[in-house]
């Protein structure tokens, strides 16, 4: 009897921990709850280890990720998989064995808040392997340096170095890649790097080969407004909570974590912050850039007085290399045709939607692919054990767009 009672108590406690009220309409809520419970457990354990001085919270998380997810390079009858380097940056290469002599080419940057993950993770290995096979494309998944050891602009410089090498005559010829069919892509923080790469290299007239497409998957693109409608609507929706995104930004930009409450309150972008011009503010003015169905009933949080000096302390907050949404229209207009995926239940939804709008206003052909039941990170959860239905749909549509536009 006591054993049964203890079991019932433990089961109730587990159910209480796992259960999380989610918005109606989110895809397969119980799967998302289980995934979130797992992530929360790892995050809480890492916070405890960090507080006790055992190790940095990011190091523990990455050890867990590596133990669970990172796999060796394994070739198949259809795709040859090897670990190599691009511009000195570790890269996993997926090369289809059969197909046309000249292949398409995709360079891919993984997500993880510039601090977590690897292109060698099982989820990215599955994605890139499928891309290589379905598209008859050489796919190169880049392992750029990570925070906290590396901070901006280190990750950006790695992405630029790898991309320049990818577009070089030597690499294109070695892998038989068609220079007219090359794309830069990435998800979340990797989408940020892909957008920054597209801007920088599209404006470099010394390059003989340039990207013909950019494919951005729920990208993070700005750190000045943590009260866009999607940040307000989805602040407590897994798997990317609003405070976690602010922490990722501070880690990336080398800012003190004590600034997190200021970012979450938009104190860092108050009107008395002289480091932010009116022109800069216009580039992320969601009241003008978002359609009414995304603005909904939400109101801007723009403070007259806040914490002036934060931008001076963390200059990366207004650096276009870190926040591609802040780019000049002339720079955006030189970038290649774009695919921008967004998810309704994602704090980063409006970053992507505003960027798609600004690209369109600059004359760029844009495909905006929005998932009303999607959540942040869904595309890389298309396989077991999560096997998300919206993940599978979004992945297939992403690959279909590449097939039709590359």
**Active centre residues (catalytic):** 188, 346, 376
Which distant-in-sequence residues (6+ apart) come within 8 Å of 8 by Cβ?
A: none
Q: Where are the beta strands (DSSP E) in 246-398?
A: 337-345, 366-375
Q: Calculate the CA dihedral of residues 354, 183, 114, 86 and round it to 10 degrees.
A: -160
Residue 35, both tokens = 């995934």
What is the C-alpha separation between 231 and 229, in angstroms, rounded? 5
Helical packing angle, 29-51 and 2-18, nearest 10°? 90
What is the C-alpha separation between 267 and 208, in angstroms, rounded? 44
DSSP, residue by residue, 126-148? HHHHHHHHHHTEEEEEE----TT
Residue 155, both tokens = 């990750």
What is the C-alpha separation between 16 and 359, in angstroms, rounded? 44
Terminal CA-to-CA distance of the chain, rounded, Å? 65
Is 154:145 a contact under the CB 8 Å cutoff?
yes
Element spanning 109, H or E: strand 103-109
What is the C-alpha separation between 15 and 101, in angstroms, rounded? 54
Paired residues of 343 in beta bridges: 371
């Amino acid at each position: 009897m006591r054993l049964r009672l203890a079991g019932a108590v433990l089961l109730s406690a587990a159910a209480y921990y796992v259960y999380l009220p989610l918005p109606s309409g989110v895809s397969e809520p119980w799967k998302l709850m289980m995934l979130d419970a797992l992530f929360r457990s790892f995050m809480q354990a890492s916070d405890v280890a960090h507080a006790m001085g055992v190790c940095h919270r990011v190091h523990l998380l990455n050890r867990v990720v590596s133990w669970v997810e990172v796999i060796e390079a394994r070739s198949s009858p259809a795709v040859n998989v090897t670990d190599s380097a691009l511009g000195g940056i570790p890269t996993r290469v997926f090369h289809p064995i059969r197909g046309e002599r000249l292949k398409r080419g995709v360079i891919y940057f993984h997500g993880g808040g510039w601090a977590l993950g690897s292109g060698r993770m099982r989820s990215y290995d599955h994605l890139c392997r499928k891309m290589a096979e379905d598209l008859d494309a050489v796919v190169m998944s880049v392992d750029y340096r990570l925070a906290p050891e590396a901070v901006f602009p280190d990750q950006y410089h790695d992405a630029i170095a790898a991309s320049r090498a990818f577009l070089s005559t030597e690499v294109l010829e070695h892998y038989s890649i068609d220079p007219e069919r090359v794309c830069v892509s990435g998800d979340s923080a990797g989408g940020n790097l892909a957008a920054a790469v597209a801007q920088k290299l599209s404006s470099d007239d010394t390059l003989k080969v340039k990207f013909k497409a950019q494919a951005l998957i729920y990208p993070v693109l700005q750190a000045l407004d943590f009260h866009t409608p999607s940040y307000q609507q989805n602040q407590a929706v897994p798997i990317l909570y609003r405070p976690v995104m602010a922490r990722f930004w501070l880690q990336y930009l080398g800012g003190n974590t004590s600034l997190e409450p200021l970012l979450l309150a938009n104190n860092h972008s108050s009107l008395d912050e002289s480091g932010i011009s009116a022109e800069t503010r216009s580039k992320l003015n969601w009241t003008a850039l978002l359609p009414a169905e995304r603005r909904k009933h939400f109101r801007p949080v723009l403070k007259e007085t806040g914490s002036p000096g934060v931008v001076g302390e963390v200059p990366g907050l207004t650096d276009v290399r870190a926040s591609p949404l802040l780019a000049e229209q002339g720079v955006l207009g030189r970038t290649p045709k774009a695919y921008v995926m967004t998810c309704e239940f994602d704090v980063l939804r409006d970053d992507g939607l505003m960027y798609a709008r600004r690209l369109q206003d600059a004359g760029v052909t844009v495909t905006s692919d929005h998932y009303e039941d999607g959540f942040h990170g869904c595309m890389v959860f298309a396989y077991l054990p999560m096997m998300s239905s919206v993940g599978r749909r979004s992945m297939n549509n992403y690959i279909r767009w590449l097939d039709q536009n590359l």
